[in-house]
């Protein structure tokens, strides 16, 4: 078992909660894990990326080699395209469609995505909207994790346990809202 | 065995606690900041009352750590690579005095300059000071090394440098912890003149340091952190330093690297191992994160010996962080990715947060600078450095902490008038005060704008030593009280700020203009913290 994931987003969007949930899940399963994060300067609204590697064998590099990622999981559409060189030929790309426009020259990406969809398995989901509908706008990242979960070789229940571990301190209500968000995202990807 | 998911920096923080430190001394700096923050949040550290407050700068931090070592206790100083430039004086001399309690200087380098002015390699400082350097290859090794480093420091009588880089610092992996040791008892040095570097003593101690060098190499030879891996294929021998070892192994997923490999994680470099590698192999490849330190050591100047490749001959990139793909290329195993990012993609550089007070200061300052023409705003390091980029494009320089005031002074001395220095509150107390004193002594015509957001924002909102003290410091240094001016950087105050700045430009002398409004991120962080406390 091995899943190499590129997590992408913009500084401040909190992609690390996704990584933390998967990390907790991996640890519960006694899997090996390495997860390289972006801290520092780029966190001020810049592009951020995290390499997350989970395996049942020891992992060497903290960074995923190019062409080896099984999944690109992005909480922002343009950022999902920045690391395409890492995606393996069989890999999937799961992205939020909600744009984060903190730059003046944000490009129109519709054509790019339609082109790529012919070659790559792409799931596009408006996670922000879905999270609002559930009544927890902050849970958009968990919607994303749910939408990406079919492409991650860890069982659903184990990821959910990971989410429980991470949000435990915030109370049962928050835990449930986040699990609900996860399930909604997962259902969306399955029905696609 | 129970594993905890630790960032490299967290593994180091936990290991230092488990090794029985009595104090950590540090000034924030990416990627080293979270070591100290980890210790600040640790329950054990709080129960043991381990010293864990921020210092004013890296020099004061390392000096205090050395003082704790003098008193027989174990201490650690942490900083980013450029911080060691600030602490270089005490660092070099601490190698001469040696230690009493174990002392570890943890330095985090930033190859690729993710958040730094340069990518200098701290191993050169270690070599320069002639002290042992540890360079872990992964998070577990970072923990294990840190756990041993204090004892090693006491055994050799020398400070130990722990050198890490951004990737290890900010990457998480499972780490197994060891038992927590007791702290050392208070115990003065046996020789009460050990830390007295009057030349007569200093010469003797320097000789002691020289005499230890062969022993240090011997210890590296025997170190469990260094290793020689056999290989059948002798056409190439590979030397890997620190984290580079992982990038090599990534290219041999079945652990089937055919070449002999020397893994270096403790310096001075293990000489016998390297001699053996050179004897066995036709050529050598050196893979190291940072400058080509070991490569230079092994490359023969006259070109008559064994061929050594690495960063110097272009087999690996000359600068920047390594990754498994670079190493694959050097091994002739390059793969071309199937996809590439579309051309429509644009960059997303970091920017000031919405609502940040620095924006209001720059809007006003831009108007004032226009009066005399651009090219006269000297600045410094912090969030406000982003004012170099559009839409502000206000500031012209950022070199090293504190240099805004002193460079502006030099330019004023050269005849530039008016000049402006823009400096953050934390940068001011880190290294700005002495420059201000120079200005006061010489009555320089300078307008110093202290952008006081009451925190060290760039590195994540740590407490600033400047908080509540800036006016008093400026007065104490000798700035005329009527030329210490205060404004609140808010949109509605724009006209007032411009007017105030123009008044100070008109006055020929030292003006300190303080723009004070709390960083909005820090505000949010404290709110969250208070909420979780309730
Ligand atoms: C010698 C040195 N130490 C530490 C750093 C890392 N660093 C960069 S900016 C900064 C803090 C700046 O704080 P402040 O001046 O208050 O500005 P702010 O970010 O709050 O706007 C630090 C610690 C550095 N670049 N150089
Ligand atoms: S972190 Fe604070 S100081 Fe830095 S840009 Fe954001 S609001 Fe401004």
- State which residues form the domain around A16: 2-191
Distance from the alpha carbon of residue B527 to the mean position of ligand 2, in angstroms: 16
Low-confidence ranges of chain B (pLDDT < 50): none
Asked whether the predicted pLDDT for residue A13 surpasses 90, the reply is no
Q: Are B33 and B79 in contact (CB under 8 A)?
A: no
Residue A192's CB is within 10 A of a number of other CB atoms, namely 12
* Cα–chain center distance at B70: 24
d(CA B459, CA B528) in angstroms, rounded, equals 18
Q: How far apart, in whole angstroms, are the C-alpha atoms of residue B260 and residue B250?
A: 16
Beta-carbon neighbour count of residue B280 at 10 Å? Answer: 14
Can you give the CATH number for the domain in which A149 is found? Answer: 3.40.920.10
Nearest to B459 by CA among B9, B2, B4, B1: B9
**Residues in contact with B515: Cβ distance below 8 Å, sequence separation at least 6, in sequence order:** B357, B360, B361, B449, B450, B451, B452, B487, B488, B489, B497
Across the interface, do B353 and A44 touch by the CB < 8 Å criterion? yes
CA distance readout (Å), A98 to A77, B400, B424 = 7, 39, 35
Atom number in ligand 1 closest to CA B117: 25
- Closest-approach residue (CA) in chain B for A63: B323
Per DSSP bridges, beta strands A32-36 and B171-176 are antiparallel
Q: Is the pLDDT of residue A27 over 90?
A: no
In B142-188 the beta strands, taken as DSSP E runs, fall at 160-165, 171-176
User: Can you read off the two tokens belonging to residue B298?
Assistant: 């092994």
What is the reported pLDDT for A12? Answer: 83
**CB-CB under 8 Å, A62 with B171:** yes
- Predicted ipTM? 0.94
What is the SS3 assignment for A150?
helix
Q: Is the pLDDT of residue A43 over 80?
A: no
Is B246 in CB contact (< 8 Å) with chain A? Answer: yes
Torsion of CA B248, B254, B259, B261, to 10 degrees: 50
Q: Do A62 and B346 touch (CB under 8 A)?
A: no
Q: Which residue has its alpha carbon closest to ligand 1 atom 13? A: B456
The answer for B319, left when phi > 0, alpha when psi is -120 to 50, beta otherwise, is beta
**Helix, strand, or coil (residue B290):** coil
Distance from CA of B452 to the nearest CA of A (A): 18
Residue B335 has a pLDDT of 82
Distance in Å, CA B260 to ligand 2 centroid? 50
Ligand 1 centre and the CA of B425: distance in Å?
9
N-to-C CA span, chain B: 35
Residue A81 forms contact with B (CB below 8 Å): yes
**Chain A residues touching B255 at Cβ < 8 A:** none
pLDDT at B534 (0 to 100) = 61
A10 touches chain B (CB under 8 A): yes
Burial of A9 by CB count in 10 Å (0-12 exposed, 13-18 middle, 19+ buried)? Answer: buried
Residues of B in Cβ contact (< 8 Å) with A116 = 339, 342
Q: Tell me which DSSP letter residue A115 carries.
A: H
State residue B398's pLDDT score: 98
- CB within 8 Å of A56: residues ≥ 6 apart: A1, A2, A31, A32
What chain B holds in terms of domains, given with CATH numbers, is 3-211 (3.40.50.970), 227-335 (3.40.50.920), 357-523 (3.40.50.970)
Pocket test for ligand 1, best of B31, B426, B466, B515 (most atoms within 8 A of CB): B426
Kindly give, in sequence order, each residue whose CB lies less than 8 Å from that of residue B313, ignoring residues fewer than 6 positions away. none
DSSP B516: E
> Token pair 């651009």 is at which residue?
B374
Q: Which helix (H) or strand (E) holds B129?
A: helix B123-129
Q: Give the closest residue (by CA) to ligand 1 atom 6.
A: B29
* Phi and psi at residue B69, to the nearest 5°: -65, -40
Q: Is A146 on the interface with B (CB under 8 A)?
A: no
- For residues A12-33, average pLDDT: 90
B209's tokens: 């340091």
The domain tally of chain A equals 1
Q: From B447, B442, B465, select the one nearest B455 (Cα to Cα).
A: B465
> Ligand 2 centre and the CA of A87: distance in Å?
34
pLDDT score recorded for residue A74: 98
Q: Which two tokens stand for residue B80?
A: 């980013």
Q: Is the pTM of this model over 0.95?
A: yes
Cross-chain Cβ contact A67/B335 below 8 Å: yes
> pLDDT, tens digit, for every residue of A78-130?
999 999 999 999 999 999 999 999 999 999 999 999 999 999 999 999 999 99
Q: Tens of pLDDT along B42-77?
A: 999 999 999 999 999 999 999 999 999 999 999 999
C-alpha B346 to ligand 1 mean position (Å): 28
């Amino acid at each position: 078992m091995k899943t190499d994931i590129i997590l992408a987003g913009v500084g401040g969007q909190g992609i690390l909660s996704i990584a933390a949930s998967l990390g907790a899940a991996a640890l519960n399963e006694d899997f090996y894990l390495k997860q390289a994060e972006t801290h520092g300067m780029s966190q001020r609204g810049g592009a951020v990326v995290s390499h997350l590697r989970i395996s049942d064998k020891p992992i060497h590099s903290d960074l995923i080699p190019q062409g080896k990622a099984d999944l690109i999981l992005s909480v922002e559409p343009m950022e999902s395209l920045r690391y395409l060189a890492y995606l393996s030929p069989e890999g999937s790309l799961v992205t939020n469609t909600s744009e984060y426009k903190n730059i003046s020259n944000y490009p129109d990406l519709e054509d790019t995505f339609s082109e790529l969809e012919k070659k790559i398995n792409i799931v596009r989901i408006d996670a922000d909207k879905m999270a609002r509908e559930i009544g927890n706008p902050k849970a958009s990242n968990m919607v994303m994790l749910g939408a990406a979960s079919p492409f991650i070789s860890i069982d659903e229940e184990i990821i959910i346990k990971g989410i429980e571990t991470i949000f435990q301190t915030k109370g049962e209500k928050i835990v449930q809202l986040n699990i609900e968000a996860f399930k909604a995202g997962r259902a969306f990807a399955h029905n696609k | 065995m129970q594993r905890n998911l630790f960032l490299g920096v967290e593994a180091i923080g936990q290991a230092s606690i488990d090794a029985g430190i009595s104090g950590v001394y540090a000034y924030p700096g990416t990627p080293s900041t979270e070591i100290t923050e980890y210790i600040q949040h640790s329950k054990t550290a709080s129960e043991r009352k381990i010293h864990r407050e921020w210092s004013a700068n890296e020099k004061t931090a390392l000096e205090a750590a050395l003082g704790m070592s003098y008193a027989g206790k174990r201490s650690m100083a942490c900083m980013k690579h450029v911080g060691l430039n600030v602490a270089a004086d005490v660092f070099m001399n601490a190698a001469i005095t040696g230690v009493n309690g174990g002392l570890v200087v943890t330095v985090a380098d930033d190859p690729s300059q993710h958040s730094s002015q340069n990518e200098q390699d701290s191993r050169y400082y270690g070599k320069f000071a002639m002290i042992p350097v540890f360079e872990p290859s992964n998070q577990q090794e970072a923990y294990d090394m840190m756990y041993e480093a204090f004892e090693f420091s006491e055994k050799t009588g020398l400070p130990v440098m722990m050198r890490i880089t951004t990737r290890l610092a900010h990457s998480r992996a499972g780490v197994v912890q060891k038992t927590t040791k007791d702290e050392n008892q208070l115990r003065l040095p046996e020789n009460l003149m050990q830390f007295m570097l009057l030349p007569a003593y200093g010469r003797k101690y320097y000789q002691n340091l020289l005499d230890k060098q062969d022993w240090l190499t011997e210890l590296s030879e025997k170190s469990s952190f260094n290793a020689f891996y056999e290989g059948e294929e002798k056409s190439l021998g590979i030397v890997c330093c620190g984290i580079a070892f992982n990038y090599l192994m990534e290219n041999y997923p079945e652990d089937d690297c055919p070449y002999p490999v020397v893994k270096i994680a403790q310096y001075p470099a293990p000489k016998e191992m390297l001699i053996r590698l050179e004897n066995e192999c036709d050529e050598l490849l050196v893979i190291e994160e940072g400058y080509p330190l070991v490569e230079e050591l092994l490359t023969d100047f006259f070109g008559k010996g064994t061929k050594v490749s690495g960063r110097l001959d272009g087999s690996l990139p000359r600068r920047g962080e390594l990754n498994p793909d670079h190493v694959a290329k050097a091994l002739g195993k390059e793969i071309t990715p199937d996809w590439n990012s579309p051309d429509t993609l644009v960059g997303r550089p970091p920017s000031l947060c919405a609502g940040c007070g620095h924006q209001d200061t720059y809007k006003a300052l831009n108007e004032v600078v226009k009066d005399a023409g651009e090219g006269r705003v000297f600045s410094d390091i912090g969030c406000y450095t982003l004012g170099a980029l559009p839409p502000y494009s206000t500031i012209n320089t950022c070199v090293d902490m504190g240099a805004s005031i002193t460079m502006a002074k030099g330019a004023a001395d050269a005849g530039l008038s008016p000049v402006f220095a823009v400096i953050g509150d934390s940068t001011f107390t880190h290294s700005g005060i002495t420059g201000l004193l120079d200005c006061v002594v010489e009555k320089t015509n300078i307008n110093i704008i202290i952008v006081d957001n009451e925190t060290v924002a760039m590195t994540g909102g740590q407490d600033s030593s400047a908080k509540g003290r800036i006016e008093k410091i400026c007065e104490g240094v000798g700035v005329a009280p009527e030329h210490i001016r205060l404004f609140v950087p808010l949109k509605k105050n724009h006209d007032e700020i411009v007017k105030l700045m123009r008044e100070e430009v008109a006055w020929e002398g030292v003006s300190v203009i303080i723009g004070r409004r709390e960083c909005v991120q820090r505000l949010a962080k404290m709110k969250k913290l208070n909420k979780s406390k309730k």
